[in-house]
Structure 1
Amino acid sequence: MFQAVEHLAHRRDLSAHSNADPWRRITEPPASSLLLHDCNNPASGLSPMAPNLRSNQSNNSMKNNKLKWTTVGAIASVAFCANAAAQSPDALLDKLVQKGILTKQEADELRKETDKDSSKATAKALSLPSWVTSFKLGGDFRGRYEEHHANNPAISDRDRFRYRLRYGVTATLLDDFEVGFRLASGNPNSTFGGNPLSANTDFSDGASRKFIWVDTAYAKWTPIHNDELKVNATIGKMDNPFNYSPMLFDADYQPEGAAVQGSYAFNEQHALKLNGAAFVLDEFSAGPNSSHDPFMLGAQLRWESRWTPKFESMLGIGAFDIAGKSNLIPAAAPNVNDGNTRDAAGNLLNNYNPAVGEAYLVYKLDSFPLYQGQFPIKLSGEFMKNKGAATGNEAWNAGLTLGKAGKKGLWDISYQYRHIGPDAWYEEFPDDDFTGFYSAALPGSGFGAGIRSGTNVKGHVARLNYSLFDSTTFTVTYYLGELINNPSGANSTVHHFMVDLMWKF
C-alpha cells in the first residue's frame, strides 16, 4: 500500500505543478504529529520525525502535497505493521477517510493502486508472460432456499434448495487490453446448454455430479482512460453492459456479441455515460431462415450528477431493437420465460423496439439508527414503451431503497412495484424470479399450465440485505406477482420467497 501512496502522491504533485489538481486539499498536520515506526523493531514505538525533515521546506505546493502523502503513508505503515493479521487495507483506508486524512475519492484511488500491486505480485509468482501486467482470481458462492406458493388449488406449493458457484480469472495486458473468463454452475436447459437467466443448480438427482458452464469469456480494449474521458470496447460473452433493473434484464443474463462503453466527466459533479452493444440471440446454419439470425441492438445514455456530498441524481434514456424475430420460436431458441403474443406455431406477432427512460435521486442522511456512517435514501424508476406493439406495450417500475449493504454491519431494505406489459419487451430477458400462474397456456408459448416468469406480470418486490462480514451477505426477497392478461380468468397470484447467504472470495 505504501507504494500506492507514493504513486498517488507523485500524481498529485504533477497535478499541482500543472495548476490542474482535481483533488481536495488535505489539512497539513503539525510537525509534532509526523511519526516514524520501525516494523522490524516492535519496541521502537512511535517517534517524531527528525526536525531536519521540515527545516528546508518551502511553501511550494508540490512539497506540501508530498509531505501530506508521506504522513498518510507513515500512518498506513504503522497500521499495517500493528494489525496486518486483523485488518484489511479497505478497513484501514476507511478509517483514514473517517478521520479526514483522506477523501473518499483519494481512498478509492489507493484501493485501485493496491489491487494493481497485488495483482502484479501474483502474475510474477505464476511466471506469466511479460505482457501480462496483472492477474486476478475471484468468485462467489451462494446458497438459497426458495418457496413458490400460488393462490390456486390447481397447483401445489414448491420448495427447493439451490446453490450458485462462480469463479473466474481476469488478466490485464500491455497496450490497454484485458482478457477474462468465468465459470459458473447451473441447471441444463434442454438442448440449448445452460439456462441463460440463471446459474442456480438444484439440490436434486441423488447427489449426482453437477454441471459447470462458461459464464463469461471476453476481451476488452480500453484505448482512452484519463481523468475526463474513458472508452472501452468488449467482444465475447460478457457481463451485461446495460445498467438497467431486472425489469429489463435478469441479473444473471450474460449477453454474447460486442459492446462499446464510454464516459466523460465534465467535472467532479457531472458525468455523461454511454453504453452501446450488438448482441447475437441465436445462430442458424440451415433452413429457410438461416440468413436471418436474430440479434439485438441497444444504446443507453446516462447523465449522472453529484450536486452536493449528500445529494445525487441520474437521468437516462435508451433504445433497443430486435431483428430476425422469425427465428425466435420456442422450438428453435431457449424458452425460459413467457408472456409475448404469438400465433399457434409460436411466431411472435409483434416487433420489439422499445424506448426506455430512467431516473433516480439519492439523499444521504448524516446518521440513522442501527446504521454506520451516512445513510442513503434512493428513489428510482423506469418507463419503457414498445412502439412495435399496439397493445400491452408498456412497462414501468418505481422503487425506494433505504441504506446500502456491502460492508460489515451495513444493510439495506428496498421495495419496488413492477408492471411489465405482455409485449412491452421480449419475454426472454426480464427477471426469471418475478412470476405469475398460468392455469391455461398462452397460444404458441410451448408451455402448459404452471408458474411462469417473463412479461405479462405485475406486482411487488421487497428485499432485505445485511452484510454479516465484508465477504458475506444475508438476503431475504419476497415477490408477489400476478398476470396482467389472464387467459383463463382464474386466480394467478404467486408468492415467491427466497433466503440467500452469499460469500465473495
Structure 2
Amino acid sequence: MNRLGQLMLGLVMLPVGAVSAQDPFAAENSDSQTPSSIDWWGEARLWYDQVDDLAGRDDIARSRLRVRTGWRGVMDQFEWGATLEGQLGSDDNRTNRINLDNERSDDLNLDEFYGRWNFGDQSNLLVGKTSMPLRLSPMLFDPDLRPLGISVTHGQGFGEFHRWSLVGGVFTGDHLYGDESRLAAIQAGLHFREGMNWSFEGLLAYLDWSDLDVLAVQGLGRTNQRIQGGTVFRSDYEILDLQLATRGTLFDWPFRMEIDVARNLGVRAAPGTNESALRDAGRVSAVLGDRRGLNGVELGAACQRIQRDAALAPFTDDEWWFHSFSRGCLPWVGYGISHNLSTRFAFSRERRDDQSEDVERFLVDLEYRW
C-alpha cells in the first residue's frame, strides 16, 4: 500500500482509539438517545439521450430506465443502508465501451451496502459500498458511481457559524469489467457562515489512484494517454483539487455557484509533448432554483475544460460525452411536476482537443423519488 493509503488507514483508526479511551458508561448516562428506524426509499429515472455530430460514426439516440430501491436504518449512533439498482436500456451492453458509459445499459446489481458509526456530532466512520464520502465535482468523479471502501470524517465548529472538516479514506473503484483500481484520498474543508443567508466554503483534496491496469486493458482508458498498445496508462494519477463554493438566495430563489480547479501531479508526457498541456482541469457551475418540489423551477449551467491526463477518464461523469481532452458547456432547465416527480432538459456542446467539430448532446429525463 502507498504512503497515502497507510496514512488514511491511520486516520480511520484514530477515532476508534479516541472513543475507546472515553468513559465506557457515557452512553448509558446520556439523557437522550437517537431513535431507531428503518425506511424504504427509492428513485426511478427515465431518460432519453441523443448525441449528434460524432466524428467517424453515426449519431446516437437511446433511452434508459434506472430504478434504485432499498432500505436505510438508524439505531442509536449507527446507520446502515442496502440498495439494489436495476437498469434497462434501448441499447445493448456491448455498446457501453464505445459509448463511454460508466454503467451497463441492462443490469441488476448491489448499489449500496454500508454501515456508518456516528461517534460525534460531526464525526463518523463509514465502511462499505456507497456514494463517495469526499465531495468531488463531476469533473473528477461521477456521482452515480459507488466505490467500496472505508473512510473517516471529522469536523468542528469555530466562531458562531463556521466549521472545519476533514475526511479521508481508502477505496476500490469498483468500476465495470473487473476493475481493480485503488484510491487513497483526503479532503480538508473550511465552511463559513453556515445557516446564514449566504455561506462560503473551500475544499482541498488529494487523490492518489493506483492499480489501473485492468481499466486500460478493458478499454476504459478513453481519452487518457496510454502506451503498450493501449493497455497501460502513461501517466500516474495524483490529483490535487481545489473547490470554492457559495450558497445563498437570489431573487428569492436558492442559488449556488461552484468553481473547481485540479492538477494531476503525476503526469508523464510523451516525447515532444509539454506536461503543461496535459495536467490541468477547471470547471465552473451555477444553479438558480430547485426542481425537486411542486412547481419548482431550476436553471443551471456548467462549463469545464479538462486536459488529457488532468482527470482519470474512467471515473468522470458520463453525462459529458468526452471524459477528458476536451472542453464544453452544459446548460439545463428543470421543473417540479409534484413533490416527488421532476423533469429536466439538458443540452451540451463539447469539442475534443484533436477534433475541429463540436459534438452536441440532448438529455431529457423524468425522475420520481419516494
Selected match of 2:163 from 271, 293, 297: 271
The question of whether the paired residues in 2 share the 8 Å contact of 1:340 and 1:423 is answered with yes
The question of whether the paired residues in 2 share the 8 Å contact of 1:316 and 1:358 is answered with yes
Partner of residue 217, structure 1: 113
Structure having the higher Rg: 1
Letter in structure 2 aligned against 1:144: W
Classify 1:258/1:197 alpha carbon distance in 2 versus 1 (closer, same or farther; 3 Å).
Answer: farther
Partner of residue 190, structure 2: 303
Q: CA deviation at 1:184?
A: 0.5
Partner of residue 159, structure 1: 61
Classify 1:184/1:329 alpha carbon distance in 2 versus 1 (closer, same or farther; 3 Å).
Answer: closer
Q: CA deviation at 1:308?
A: 7.9
The question of whether the paired residues in 1 share the 8 Å contact of 2:173 and 2:181 is answered with yes
- Name the SS of the counterpart of 1:433 in structure 2: coil
- For this pair of structures, how many residues does the alignment match? 319
Q: CA deviation at 1:167?
A: 0.2
Partner of residue 231, structure 1: 123
- Name the SS of the counterpart of 1:330 in structure 2: helix
Partner of residue 295, structure 2: 409
Moved more, 154-163 or 133-142: 154-163
Q: CA deviation at 1:251?
A: 1.7
Tell me how far apart the structure 1 counterparts of residues 120 and 194 of structure 2 sit (CA, whole Å): 26
Q: CA deviation at 1:456?
A: 1.2
| Equivalent residues in 2 for 1:311-460, closer than 5 Å | 311-325=198-212, 327-331=213-217, 335-336=219-220, 338-345=222-229, 346-365=231-250, 368=251, 374-389=252-267, 390=275, 391-435=277-321, 453-460=322-329
Identical aligned residues as a percent: 21
Partner of residue 500, structure 1: 365
Taking CA–CA contacts closer than 8 Å with sequence separation of 6 or more, which of the two structures ends up with the larger relative contact order?
2
Partner of residue 330, structure 2: 461
Classify 1:418/1:313 alpha carbon distance in 2 versus 1 (closer, same or farther; 3 Å).
Answer: same
Instruction: Note the residue ranges of structure 2 that are not aligned, 5 or more in a row.
Output: 1-32, 268-274
- Name the SS of the counterpart of 1:409 in structure 2: coil
Tell me how far apart the structure 2 counterparts of residues 155 and 429 of structure 1 sit (CA, whole Å): 24
Tell me how far apart the structure 1 counterparts of residues 309 and 194 of structure 2 sit (CA, whole Å): 38
Partner of residue 186, structure 1: 87
The question of 1:150 aligning with 2:53 is answered yes
Letter in structure 1 aligned against 2:345: V
Selected match of 2:71 from 156, 165, 169: 169
Classify 1:217/1:307 alpha carbon distance in 2 versus 1 (closer, same or farther; 3 Å).
Answer: closer
- Name the SS of the counterpart of 2:345 in structure 1: strand
Q: CA deviation at 1:196?
A: 11
Tell me how far apart the structure 2 counterparts of residues 172 and 363 of structure 1 sit (CA, whole Å): 31
- Name the SS of the counterpart of 1:503 in structure 2: strand
| Equivalent residues in 2 for 1:80-99, closer than 5 Å | none
Q: Provide the alpha-carbon RMSD of the alignment.
A: 2.7
1:82-102 CA-partner distances (Å, limit 9, x unpaired): xxxxxxxxxxxxxxxxxxxxx
The structure in which a higher percent of residues are helix is 1
Letter in structure 2 aligned against 1:455: S
- Name the SS of the counterpart of 1:155 in structure 2: coil
Selected match of 1:479 from 344, 348, 369: 348
TM-score (norm 2): 0.79
| Equivalent residues in 2 for 1:190-201, closer than 5 Å | 198=102, 201=105
Tell me how far apart the structure 1 counterparts of residues 367 and 343 of structure 2 sit (CA, whole Å): 7
Tell me how far apart the structure 2 counterparts of residues 239 and 338 of structure 1 sit (CA, whole Å): 23
Tell me how far apart the structure 1 counterparts of residues 195 and 142 of structure 2 sit (CA, whole Å): 32
1:171-208 CA-partner distances (Å, limit 9, x unpaired): 2234x222211100236867x9xx9965574xxxxxxx
The question of whether the paired residues in 1 share the 8 Å contact of 2:64 and 2:87 is answered with no
Instruction: Note the residue ranges of structure 1 that are not aligned, 5 or more in a row.
Output: 1-112, 121-132, 202-209, 284-292, 369-373, 436-452
The question of whether the paired residues in 2 share the 8 Å contact of 1:185 and 1:199 is answered with no
